[in-house]
Amino acid sequence: MNIAVVGTGYVGLVTGVALAHIGHRVTCVDVDQEKVDCLRQGISPIYEPGIEPLMKENMEAGRLFFTTDGASAFREADVIYVAVGTPENEDGSANLTYLRQAVKDIASAVTKDVIVVTKSTVPIGTNHEMKRMFAELAPHVRIEVVSNPEFLREGSAIHDTFHGDRIVIGADDEQAAAVVADIHRPFGIPIFQTDIRSAEMIKYASNAFLAAKISFINEIANICEKVGADVEQVAAGMGMDARIGSSFLRAGIGYGGSCFPKDTKALAKIAANIDHHFELLKAVIEVNNKQQRKLIEKAKERFGRLAGKRVALLGLSFKPNTDDMREAASLVVARELLAEQAIVVAYDPIAMGKAAHVLPKEVIYADRVEQALERADAAMILTEWDEFRQLDLSVYVNKMKTPIIFDGRNCYALDDVACYPIEYYSIGRKSITNIK
Ligand code: NAD
């Protein structure tokens, strides 16, 4: 199959590489010349474990190409995947500017019948709008639109693409659905076929549900702290119930990233547009906004004023194994610390380059975790990178002015921390105050 992928971000690149790997001829198209130049040299513009070797292997095998020349790629393609961004508008709705542009680009280029597969997360009704646009802009050809929402997680995107739980295909046209199902069959993942609107909703409902699970356990954690229960124990006990399941029950300082924040807001907006006030989802969002500030609250409670305090921020990306800074807790925490006139020294194993573009310019960057901790009054752990989980706790004791840790991801076992002269505040667990 000759496939074009529009947009080579986290989703488009992984999709393109994976489809090439199962034997298709894939041309990835992006409007960003710098990105394409980088990709052509076999360099991934995003940090995603395992992506580069797979990219290179498929480029060398003559199955994977990168270009800014969308017109040629679309003209030759049998199937075109759309994976452009659908960021958030100011009112929370999804911004479809890139998607509509991609539709126009495709419509003006194609000269034969083609199937367009939408991977981007789009509001219910968008695939039908795309179909109407194609009918108007390219009446000379038949363009079928199929919804194929993406469920990969950044940081394990390659693994998820080859070992996902399901592939959702939403289509009005049986033949188009069958072609897309055939393309994906080599992945060996169960295929769930449905109508277009339901497929679009499956994506939003899944993300909203997972976000709700996170906000739920975070609220339980906040209560645990006050009643003397331990949220890790509670989550373990809850998770053993198959009806609940153990995943997404890790208490912390909330969700971030390119999907949950924008998709929950977009779904609330979709509901509001039809006069349905999705109170549960609004509460999920509100709880998360508060939770991202939890460590600041704890630090203020501990220190009173934060002015002049040197705070080491450990972990800047929104989660480990990615360099994605979109809606990362570090953005909120760094801003608030600086507003309190604290000195912020930041370290992340991978995301520092991207972080420097989006964090306030007052943030100081350290080359190593030890350097970030040097003479610090407090450390705040925002991302549970293995490097921090595996860090010997004596490093905090030896490097910091006062070894006071605010752990937003519960990286350490309380029994381990208790062996050191450390003050330790985590989420939903008892505090340890061992400093003499
Ligand atoms: P991204 O911002 O990383 O990448 C989008 C890419 O599209 C950019 O490289 C941009 O230059 C390119 N682009 C924009 N307009 C274009 C055009 N007309 N022609 C060619 N290229 C164009 O986005 P992403 O994180 O990969 O997300 C893409 C979509 O997938 C979004 O709708 C998102 O909600 C959804 N999604 C993302 C994830 C994730 O983990 N990132 C997971 C599931 C679904």
The predicted-structure confidence for 147-172, as pLDDT tens digits, reads as follows 999 999 999 999 999 999 999 999 99
Of 424, 422, 430, nearest to 400 by C-alpha is 422
| Rounded average pLDDT over 267-288 | 98
Q: How far is CA 189 from CA 13, 178, 181, 194, in A?
A: 20, 15, 10, 16
Q: Whose Cα sits closest to atom 32 in ligand 1?
A: 120
* The pLDDT of residue 351 is above 90: yes
pLDDT at site 125: 98
Catalytic residue among 224, 259, 411, 419: 259
| Rounded average pLDDT over 201-226 | 98
Q: 267: burial class by Cβ within 10 Å (0-12, 13-18, 19+)?
A: buried
Q: For residue 149, which atom of ligand 1 is closest to its CA?
A: 44
Rg, Å, the chain Cα set: 23
Is residue 411 part of the annotated active site? The answer reads: no
pLDDT at site 435: 75
pLDDT at site 434: 86
Q: Which of 8, 81, 84 to mutate to test the pocket of ligand 1 (most atoms within 8 A of CB)?
A: 84
Give yes or no for a contact between 405 and 431, defined as CB atoms under 8 angstroms apart: no
User: Could you give the 3-state DSSP secondary structure of residue 66?
Assistant: strand
Give yes or no for a contact between 328 and 314, defined as CB atoms under 8 angstroms apart: no
* The pLDDT of residue 436 is above 80: no
User: What is the C-alpha separation between 76 and 67, in angstroms, rounded?
Assistant: 13
Enclosing H/E stretch for 207: helix 196-227
Q: Whose Cα sits closest to atom 22 in ligand 1?
A: 7
Q: What percent of the chain has pLDDT over 90?
A: 99
CB of residue 83 inside a 6 A radius of ligand 1:
yes
CB of residue 72 inside a 6 A radius of ligand 1:
no
Q: Report how far apart the first and last C-alpha atoms of the chain are (Å, whole number).
A: 68
Query: What's the pLDDT tens digit per position in 355-409?
Result: 999 999 999 999 999 999 999 999 999 999 999 999 999 999 999 999 999 999 9
